[in-house]
């Protein structure tokens, strides 16, 4: 029956006329439109200011001012370009993401049918007011919160609000929630709340809090502050030492400022931005759309994955998983379009006769069924057919098709329906009567809840058969299945009323339905555990259903975890002292999901939360990483999330975590490389004078080294592929410094060796009568270029050809500084002969070998010793 047909079936109630237009206009003025107000957009200047106030960017802005002060305009332009690109990319990513996700108000129904002045009107949902008489039918999105005053077989999908995988029967006097969908039947309701006062509005208020900085943003901010202080102190020290040695004030001022610029890895923001942008691009290719660029790295820090059930761990649709008959059990879920090979209870192949009781049962469920399956259109591009109706009845039709039963269209021709008693919440069963093919004989088909069907008043089967069926039904229900009992019988005439035929029927068997786990769900959770990520199930579904799914995906059963299934009521009542000891939560509301996420965060975990419903929005917003389902998720979930999965596959989250770890590894690898080089330059300037090298490097030479090492090669490091074993190691500790876990030890060792090798080359050149300053300049460059190749986790990989090409380009530009007259004049270098170049070139393999050795000298936790995982963590 269509929605318009449903309108004509309602008997007028006491409020049949509905509100008058004048009264509706007055209430609309009082309450405002029926819209969930979206958060105000962030102005462009605020976005730019947020980028520029990052501590590292502020250090770079200071470096621009300093280079301009000493007249070094080329370096000022380069550093300024880094700041400009970083700010532009960050702002553009935020704006693009905000434009890609619709506002909360887009979720509400675009139109609603209300009765005003006795006339049914089709209005925009925004015009609905409290007190309106709302008419709903199959397929309608409910426009506002309301109370039912009339209902006929009304079934509503509330999964977007509650997480309940099974649609809910609605009776007169029960509440309807705005944004939910009618899947069957019809109803009349009185609107009780609209806009911000409704269920969607109350959830929206939980999304108003500002986002906290990501772990990477916090770590880099702390690093920026430390760098600013240390750099200033070192430059003052170099300046003072120069003056003590009697060097000119102007010379030492320029040298100290140049050293300050060299000590700061100004390419770091560019490296971070490039690494994050490439990570976002790689994730998009793997069906994960990043809404906030810093979220790319945060994924690599995730230590807890809080997942919902429906559509994430499970398929998001009802499936018949078991058909039980007095003759055996059959699993029809093994095939969707062809009859499966089904093992009987005793094992071995099944004959056609052995399958007959199950096919007879499913044929009856196809007859006693109001759903329809539409095959794909001929020539349609992609996609299968569509299903309309109660998801449970759709599953019964799909199982019948898989078992080779006649189609519903064929049954409609051969066994036309001539009478029915629809399902209602009191009888808890549905009965249909069909022509038996000749004369007045009819076929009675019945399905319903086991307790309403397995009754001697309904069935004629002997008591022991009914007892066996009840025992099997209880066993299946305990395993989390939704169980239906099916019966049929033949009558000589059409009964009147139809319910009179609900006696003396024969039991055909039981049907067990569920929303089963996705085929790769268990393997995905196993991958999470291998990567040190703790999976937690948080759902609004029934505890038995949650337990059944959790058991099937091996989420329960570990000796180190609490195997209880905790409910939202338990969480609200504080019945468990430590929420992080429980792995499965059921019947949770939005606030309780927040409480669970906050409990993990208070323990120091970095949380990723997946969800698709409105009820998931607040937790998605509060978690360190919110992951929304793109295909079946609501707009609220997408707006609240940092990551949107276009394929709704949990395995995509694991792939995104790997990408996040790759990004973070590359950032840390650049920090070791860039800061070791900067530290080596500072040490050369400090130690050189004590070895008889009065002014080891001139300001221009320092800046040229910095440009080639931190610029070309440094940025190229951001595209390095993932290290071997990336997903076989635990996530880094959330409180670990960006240079923790042994990185600072590597940095100091590498800086010390590069410094020693470069100074040794300079002293050797002086002993041979060569220009020692030019040798020192070239040696520092060669050592750092060798180190950047030595730090690669995959030495001979072809996945990032830009890095070896950038090393080659930097080497050529280093030689150009000696042999191109213009550059040689500006940088105050002297062309070297073969011996001088050879002395400097020996530092390249020294830097390479040192970098290779420090990669394995420290474990990820910072303790010394050999490590089996050579990647830089």
Q: Tell me the average pLDDT across 491-505.
A: 89
103/564 Cα distance (integer angstroms): 38
Last residue of a domain, one of 511, 544, 565: 511
The predicted model gives 158-172 an average pLDDT of 74
Given this model, what pLDDT does residue 214 score?
63
pLDDT in tens, 178-203: 878 887 788 999 999 988 788 777 76
Residue 33, Ramachandran bin (φ over 0: left; ψ between -120 and 50: alpha; else beta): beta
Q: Which residues contact 456 (CB under 8 A, 6 or more apart)?
A: 463, 466
More confident residue, 171 or 455: 455
CATH code of the domain containing 7: 2.70.150.10
Task: Output phi, psi for 309, to 5 deg.
Answer: -100, -65
Q: What is the mean pLDDT of residues 792-805?
A: 89
pLDDT tens-digit profile of 545-560?
888 899 889 888 655 5
Specify the CATH number for the domain of residue 484.
3.40.1110.10
Angle at which helices 391-402 and 352-367 cross, to 10°: 150
pLDDT surpassing 50 at residue 2: no
Residue 367 has what pLDDT? Answer: 95
Task: Give the pLDDT of residue 130.
Answer: 93
For strand 168-169 and strand 145-157, is the pairing parallel, antiparallel, or unpaired?
A: antiparallel
Instruction: Say how far apart CA 574 and CA 88 lie, in whole Å.
Output: 47
Predicted pLDDT of residue 871: 35
Verify that 392 and 328 share a domain, yes or no: yes
- Indicate whether 115 belongs to any domain: yes
Is there a single domain that holds both residue 769 and residue 812? yes
Distance CA 125, CA 110 (A): 5
Q: Which of 117-126, 222-231, 517-526, 672-681 has the lowest mean pLDDT?
A: 222-231
Most confident among 89-103, 573-587, 630-644 (mean pLDDT): 573-587
Token output for 247: 């060097």
Distance CA 259, CA 683 (A): 10
Q: Please state, in angstroms and rounded to a whole number, the distance separating the CA atoms of residues 753 and 846.
A: 8
CATH number at residue 846: 1.20.1110.10
Query: Are the C-beta atoms of 365 and 488 separated by less than 8 Å?
Result: no
pLDDT value at position 650? 85
Confidence band (pLDDT; 50, 70, 90) for 343?
Answer: very low
Distance CA 607, CA 589 (A): 18
Q: What does the pLDDT look like over 388-409, one tens digit per residue?
A: 778 889 899 989 988 889 988 8
Residue 24, CB-side half-sphere exposure with 13 Å CA sphere: 20
Q: Which two tokens stand for residue 789?
A: 């190749």
In this structure, the answer to whether residues 277 and 388 fall within a common structural domain is: no
Tens digit of pLDDT for each residue in 445-472?
Answer: 999 999 999 999 999 999 999 999 999 9
50 versus 674: the higher-pLDDT residue is 674
Q: Are 288 and 643 in contact (CB under 8 A)?
A: yes
Return the bridge partners of 135, or none. Answer: 113, 188
pLDDT at residue 140, rounded to an integer: 80
pLDDT given for residue 337 in this prediction: 30
Q: Average of pLDDT values for 376-386? A: 46
275 near 666, Cβ under 8 Å?
yes
Average pLDDT over residues 59-77: 69
* CA separation for the pair 626, 639 (Å, rounded): 10
Helix axes 268-285, 55-69, angle to 10 degrees: 140
| Tokens at 514, concatenated | 């569920």
Beta-sheet pairing, 417-421 with 386-388? unpaired
Report how far apart, in Å, the C-alpha atoms of 143 and of each of 35, 114, 482 are: 10, 10, 30
Average pLDDT score over residue span 74-86: 65
pLDDT bin (cut points 50, 70, 90) of residue 15 is low
699-754 pLDDT tens trace: 678 878 877 887 778 778 888 888 888 888 888 776 777 777 788 889 999 999 99
Q: What CA–CA distance (Å, rounded) separates 736 from 278?
A: 24
Q: Are residues 778 and 817 in the same domain?
A: yes
Distance CA 545, CA 549 (A): 6
The two tokens of residue 863 are: 């303790």
CB 615 within 8 A of CB 162: yes
Indicate whether 46 belongs to any domain. no
Residue bearing the bigger pLDDT, 318 or 216: 318
Task: Give yes or no for a contact between 536 and 305, defined as CB atoms under 8 angstroms apart.
Answer: yes
Residue closest to 840 by CA, chosen among 767, 782, 770: 782
Query: DSSP assignment, residue 643?
Result: E
- pLDDT score for 480: 84
Q: Rounded to an integer, what distance in angstroms lies between the CA atom of residue 819 and that of residue 836?
A: 13
pLDDT at 862 over 60: no
Average pLDDT of span 680-691: 85
Q: Which two tokens stand for residue 300?
A: 């690599």
Helix or strand holding residue 89 (H, E): helix 73-100
Distance CA 128, CA 111 (A): 9
Q: Which of 207, 224, 244 is the last residue of a domain?
A: 207
Could you say which of 308, 461, 624, 771 is catalytic?
308
Please count the structural domains in the chain. 4
Rounded-to-integer distance, Cα 322 and Cα 513, Å: 7
Higher pLDDT, 807 or 166: 807
CB-based burial label for 410 (10 Å; 0-12, 13-18, 19+):
exposed
Query: 745 lies in which domain range?
Result: 55-80+212-287+655-855
Catalytic annotation present for 122: no
**Is 164 or 479 the better-scoring residue by pLDDT?**
479
Q: Is the pLDDT of residue 828 over 90?
A: no
- Residue 386 DSSP SS3: strand
Residue 243 and residue 342 in one domain: no
Give the model confidence (pLDDT) of 349-379 as tens digits: 444 555 889 999 999 999 999 888 766 554 4
Residue 242 is assigned to a structural domain of this protein: yes
Q: Are 391 and 325 in contact (CB under 8 A)?
A: no
Do 394 and 484 belong together in one domain? yes
Contact 755, 680 (CB under 8 A): yes
- Is the pLDDT score of 1 beyond 70? no
Quick check: is 37 in a domain?
no
- Together in a domain, 131 and 60: no
C-alpha separations of 600 from 163, 227, 306, 593, 617 in Å: 21, 32, 10, 11, 18
Rounded CA gap, 135 and 10, in Å? 10
In a shared domain, residues 718 and 741: yes
DSSP lists the bridge partners of residue 445 as: 432, 488
Residues 531 and 474 in one domain: no
Q: Of 677, 650, 597, 626, which is closest to residue 850 (Cα–Cα)? A: 677
Give CA torsion, residues 162, 168, 171, 177, to 10 deg. Answer: 30
Q: How confident is the model at residue 305 (pLDDT cuts 50, 70, 90)?
A: very high
Burial of 830 (C-beta count, 10 Å sphere; 0-12/13-18/19+): middle
* 871 backbone dihedrals φ, ψ, rounded to 5°: -65, 150
Task: Compare 504 and 50 and report the one with higher pLDDT.
Answer: 504
Q: How far is residue 129's CA from residue 134's CA, in Å, rounded to a whole number?
A: 10
Domain presence at residue 391 = yes
Q: Is the same domain home to 782 and 707?
A: yes
For residues 667, 91, 287 and 316, what is the CA-based torsion angle, rounded to 10 degrees?
A: 120
SS3 311: coil
Give the other-Cβ count within 10 Å of 359's Cβ: 19
| Residue 189, pLDDT score | 94
Cα(first)–Cα(last) distance of the chain, in Å? 62
547 and 313 Cβ atoms separated by less than 8 Å: no
3-state DSSP assignment of residue 380? coil
Average pLDDT along the chain: 80
In a domain, 283, yes or no: yes
Please indicate, yes or no, whether residues 729 and 616 belong to a single structural domain of this protein.
no
CA-based R_g, the chain, Å: 35
Q: What is the per-residue pLDDT for 54?
A: 65
| CA dihedral over 289, 295, 296, 302, signed as positive or negative | negative
Q: Which residue has the higher pLDDT, 786 or 157?
A: 786
For residue 288, list its beta bridge partners.
645
Burial 840-868 (b: 16+ CB within 10 A, else e): bbbbbebbbebbbebbebbbbebeeeebe
SS3 245: coil
Of 627, 648, 669, which residue is a domain's last? 648
Is the distance from CB of 83 to CB of 61 less than 8 angstroms? Answer: yes
- State the pLDDT confidence band at 381, using cuts at 50, 70 and 90: very low
Query: Domain for residue 617, yes or no?
Result: yes
Q: Within the chain, what is the greatest distance between any pair of CA atoms?
A: 122
Extended strands (E) in 24-126: 111-116, 119-124
Token pair, residue 365, equals: 């469920």
Neighbours of 449 (CB within 10 A): 16
Q: Cα–Cα distance between 650 and 293 in angstroms, integer?
A: 20
User: Rounded CA gap, 491 and 440, in Å?
Assistant: 8
pLDDT of residue 846: 96
- When pLDDT is averaged across residues 589-614 and rounded to a whole number, the result is 86
DSSP-assigned letters across all residues of 520-584: THHHHHHHHHHTTPEEEEE-SS-HHHHHHHHHHTT-S--TTSEEEEEEHHHHHHT--S-GGGEEE
Hey, which residues does 487 pair with through a beta bridge?
A: 446, 507
Does residue 96 sit within a domain? no
Mean pLDDT in residue range 32-52 = 72
Over residues 221-263, the pLDDT tens digits come to: 677 677 777 777 877 887 887 788 777 776 676 667 666 665 6
pLDDT score, position 736: 75
| Residues 734 and 771 grouped into a single domain | yes
CB 715 within 8 A of CB 817: no
The secondary structure of 702-753 as a DSSP string is HHHHHIIIIIIIHHHGGGPPPPTTGGGSPPPPTT--TTTTTHHHHHHHHHHH
């Amino acid at each position: 029956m269509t929605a318009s047909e449903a309108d004509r079936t309602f008997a007028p109630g006491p409020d049949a006329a509905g509100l008058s237009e004048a009264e509706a206009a007055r209430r609309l003025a009082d309450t405002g439109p029926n819209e969930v107000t979206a958060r105000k957009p962030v102005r462009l200047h605020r976005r730019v200011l947020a980028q520029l106030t990052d501590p590292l960017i502020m250090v770079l802005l200071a470096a621009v001012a300093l280079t301009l002060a000493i007249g070094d305009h080329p370096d000022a332009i380069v550093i300024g370009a880094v700041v400009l690109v970083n700010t532009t990319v960050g702002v553009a990513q935020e704006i693009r993401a905000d434009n890609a996700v619709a506002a909360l108000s887009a979720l509400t129904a675009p139109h609603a049918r209300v009765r005003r002045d006795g006339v049914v009107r089709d209005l925009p949902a925004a015009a609905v007011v409290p007190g309106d008489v709302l008419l709903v039918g199959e397929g309608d999105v409910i426009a506002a919160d309301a109370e039912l005053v009339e209902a006929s077989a009304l079934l509503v999908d509330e999964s977007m609000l509650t997480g309940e995988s099974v649609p809910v029967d609605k009776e007169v006097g029960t509440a309807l929630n705005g944004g939910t969908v009618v899947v069957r039947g019809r109803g009349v309701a009185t609107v009780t709340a609209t806009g911000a006062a409704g269920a969607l509005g109350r959830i929206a208020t939980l999304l108003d809090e500002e986002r906290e900085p990501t772990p990477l943003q916090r770590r880099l901010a702390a690093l920026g502050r430390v760098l600013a202080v240390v750099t200033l102190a070192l430059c003052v020290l170099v300046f003072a030492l120069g003056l003590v040695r009697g060097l000119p004030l102007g010379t030492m001022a320029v040298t100290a400022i140049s050293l300050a610029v060299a000590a700061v890895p100004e390419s770091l923001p560019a490296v971070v931005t490039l690494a994050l942008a490439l990570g976002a691009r790689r994730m998009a290719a793997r069906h994960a759309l990043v809404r906030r660029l810093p979220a790319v790295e945060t994924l690599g820090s995730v230590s807890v994955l809080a997942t919902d059930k429906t559509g994430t761990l499970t398929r998001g649709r009802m499936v018949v998983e078991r058909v039980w008959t007095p003759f055996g059990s059959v699993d029809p879920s093994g095939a969707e379009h062809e009859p499966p090979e089904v093992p009987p209870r005793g094992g071995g192949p099944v004959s056609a006769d052995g399958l007959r009781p199950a096919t007879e049962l499913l044929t009856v469920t196809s007859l006693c069924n109001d759903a329809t399956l539409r095959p794909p259109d001929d020539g349609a591009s992609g996609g299968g057919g569509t299903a309309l109706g109660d998801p449970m009845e759709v599953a019964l039709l799909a199982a019948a098709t898989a078992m080779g039963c006649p189609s519903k269209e064929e049954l409609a021709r051969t066994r036309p329906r001539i009478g029915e008693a629809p399902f209602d919440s009191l009888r808890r069963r549905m009965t249909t009567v069909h022509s038996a093919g000749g004369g007045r004989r009819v076929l009675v088909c019945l399905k319903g809840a086991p307790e309403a069907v397995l009754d001697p008043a309904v069935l004629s089967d002997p008591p022991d058969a009914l007892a066996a069926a009840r025992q099997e039904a209880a066993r299946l229900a305990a395993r989390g299945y939704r169980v239906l009992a099916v019966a049929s019988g033949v009558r000589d005439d059409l009964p009147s009323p139809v319910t009179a035929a609900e006696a003396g029927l024969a039991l055909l068997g039981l049907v067990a339905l569920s929303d089963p786990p996705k085929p790769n769900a268990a393997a995905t959770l196993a991958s999470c555990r291998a990567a040190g990520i703790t999976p937690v199930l948080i759902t609004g579904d029934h505890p038995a259903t949650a337990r059944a799914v959790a058991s099937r995906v091996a989420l329960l059963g570990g000796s180190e975890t609490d195997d209880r299934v905790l409910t939202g009521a338990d969480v609200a009542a504080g019945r468990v002292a430590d929420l992080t000891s429980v792995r499965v939560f059921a019947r949770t509301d939005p606030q309780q999901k927040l409480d669970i996420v906050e409990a993990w965060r208070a323990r120091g975990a970095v949380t990723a939360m997946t969800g698709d419903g409105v009820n998931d929005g607040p937790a998605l917003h509060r978690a360190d990483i919110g992951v929304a389902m793109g295909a079946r998720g609501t707009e609220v979930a997408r707006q609240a999330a940092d990551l949107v999965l276009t394929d709704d596959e949990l395995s995509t989250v694991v792939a995104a975590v790997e990408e996040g770890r790759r990004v973070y590894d590359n950032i840390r690898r650049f920090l070791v490389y860039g800061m070791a080089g900067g530290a080596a330059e500072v040490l050369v300037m400090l130690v050189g004078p004590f070895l008889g090298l009065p002014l080891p490097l001139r300001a221009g030479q320092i800046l040229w080294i910095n440009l080639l090492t931190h610029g070309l090669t440094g940025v190229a490091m951001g595209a390095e592929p993932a290290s071997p074993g990336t997903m076989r190691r635990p996530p880094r500790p959330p409180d670990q410094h960006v240079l923790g876990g042994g990185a600072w030890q590597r940095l100091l060792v590498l800086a010390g060796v590069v410094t020693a090798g470069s100074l040794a080359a300079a002293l050797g050149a002086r002993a041979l009568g060569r220009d020692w300053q030019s040798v020192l300049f070239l040696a520092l460059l060669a050592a750092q270029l060798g180190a950047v190749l030595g730090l690669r986790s995959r030495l001979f990989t072809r996945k990032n050809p830009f890095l070896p090409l950038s090393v080659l380009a930097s080497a050529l530009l280093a030689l150009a500084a000696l042999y191109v007259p213009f550059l040689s004049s500006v940088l105050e270098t002297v062309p070297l002969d073969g011996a001088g170049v050879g002395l400097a070139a020996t530092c390249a393999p020294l830097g390479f070998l040192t970098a290779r050795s420090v990669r394995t000298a420290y474990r990820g936790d910072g303790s010394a010793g050999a490590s089996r995982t050579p990647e830089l963590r």
